[in-house]
Structure 1
Amino acid sequence: RCGVAPARPGVERLLRTAEGAAIVSSGAAGWVEEHLRRLGLRRYFDFLVTGDDTERHKPAPDLYLLALERAGVGAGDALAVEDSPRGVEAARAAGLRCVAVPWEPALAPGLAGADAVLPSLDGLDLRRYQRNEV
């Protein structure tokens, strides 16, 4: 699905305002890098944590725990943005607050474990997150 998909609405706006953005993906590093370059988004990310970096993938929290370690921040100082039930489960298991934006509306019920489920990233205001309103 991601090989030809355009960037999701609101992604670039959100990334311009984010500090310390990282990708946490169960996908292989080469696939993730290629996808980000194709979309012109790679420059926004400080680092990537991919399926190449840990043995266990989402829904295990390992990828998120490694990202927190690399970023040098605690879970309370980070926000995960996810699009799948497995991703939400991994973020929550790592102690992160999580906003979910489903790829398709039918997936929304499976994202109920997130702190918020939004129809697009256009609705995510990082100032609300910083004030713990998410």
Structure 2
Amino acid sequence: MEYIIDDIDRAILASLAEDARQSLKVLSARVGLTSPSTAERVKRLEERGVIEGYGARVNLAALDYRIQALVRVRPLPGMLQKVDKLIQALPECIENDKVTGEDCFVMRLVVHSIEQLDALLDTISEYAQCNTSIVKSSPVKRRLPPI
């Protein structure tokens, strides 16, 4: 059975995306339901996988990760699986997408220095071609599309 998202579910999702730590009382007031009704809807959204989890947004610079890099990765022939495993094993890789086109992966790395970035890329360069861009700023942070 397909789960239909109605306007109240959308309001719940938008409010939780803005502040996942808000109390049930505040969330209920924002969406115009009682606390038990809101709790039941949130539970249903979680059970159906619409809400996959909750997390904290961390300031990476506060952890001394001053550099972010976007790296397009093109594995050498026969090295796709090896490169995939190498990328997944990198704790500095905070995102990785398998993509179409000439490259197979686009990953986002966070590092303390250019030297650290070079060392990480060296672990992959034996098995893949890498094209790296340093992130200057992120005017649009990861966000939900219109709900």
With the length of structure 2 as denominator, give the TM-score of the two structures. 0.22
Pick the structure with more strand per residue.
2
**Structure showing greater Rg:** 2
**More contact order relative to length (CA 8 Å, sep ≥ 6):** 2
